[in-house]
Amino acid sequence: MKKIVQKDNKVLREIASEVPVDEITSEKIQNIIKDMHESLAGERDGVALAAPQIAVSLRIFVISPLAYNYEERDGAEKIDPKEISRERKLVFINPKIIWKSNDSKKMDEGCLSVRPWYGKVKRSSRATVEAYDENGKKFEMEGRGLVAQIFQHEIDHLEGILFIDKAKNLKEINLE
Ligand SMILES: [Zn+2]
């Protein structure tokens, strides 16, 4: 498990590099993805993690399966975490937002690299991402609510942007 770097670390301010598509299935990239899942799973309040947060300046982020049960889905039942990876992607490589809804909402936001700060950030309530999965397969996925917020927050990480650059009403909250 790799340590999650904190906000003064310069790697968080770099523009992350694209992963060459033919290297996605390489041992090096697969190990980075594994490290990211492990580091995220070790954080009880974490829903997603970008590679720069484990000091790897590559365009990859991962989502916790739990995040999908907070996604806004019309009349949807909770998805069994074991079933999630079949219905929803957990790994996003070279992600791009290809569509965002015009309505923006102020959403509560925090970051595993900016502990223990929280604030309100305006985010589109729906967003569609195009990315490659861990097998090198290209896909598109629309997210709503928390998942749309995650897409925007994580892709900001890949551009060297932290939520505190955009947040209003920053507050320190210790979740103990
Ligand atoms: Zn973050």
| CB neighbours of residue 16 within 10 Å | 22
Q: Which of 72, 109, 154, 176 is catalytic?
A: 154
Ligand 1 centre distance from Cα of residue 154 (Å): 6
pLDDT grade, residue 68 (50/70/90)? confident
64-68, 71-75, 135-139, 172-176: segment of lowest average pLDDT: 71-75
Report the separation in Å between the CA atom of 164 and the middle of ligand 1, taken as the mean of its atom positions: 10
Tell me which H or E stretch contains 151: helix 146-158
Question: Does 91 have pLDDT greater than 80?
Answer: yes
Task: Report CA(110)–ligand 1 centroid distance (Å).
Answer: 7
Alpha carbon of 74 to ligand 1 centroid (Å)? 27
pLDDT, one tens digit per residue, over 106-139 is: 999 999 999 999 999 999 999 999 999 999 999 9
pLDDT at site 76: 67
Find all residues with CB under 8 Å of 169, minimum gap 6, and list them.
119, 120
If you average pLDDT over residues 135-146, what whole number do you get?
Answer: 94
Catalytic, 154? Answer yes
Domains, the chain, ordered by start: 10-172 (3.90.45.10)
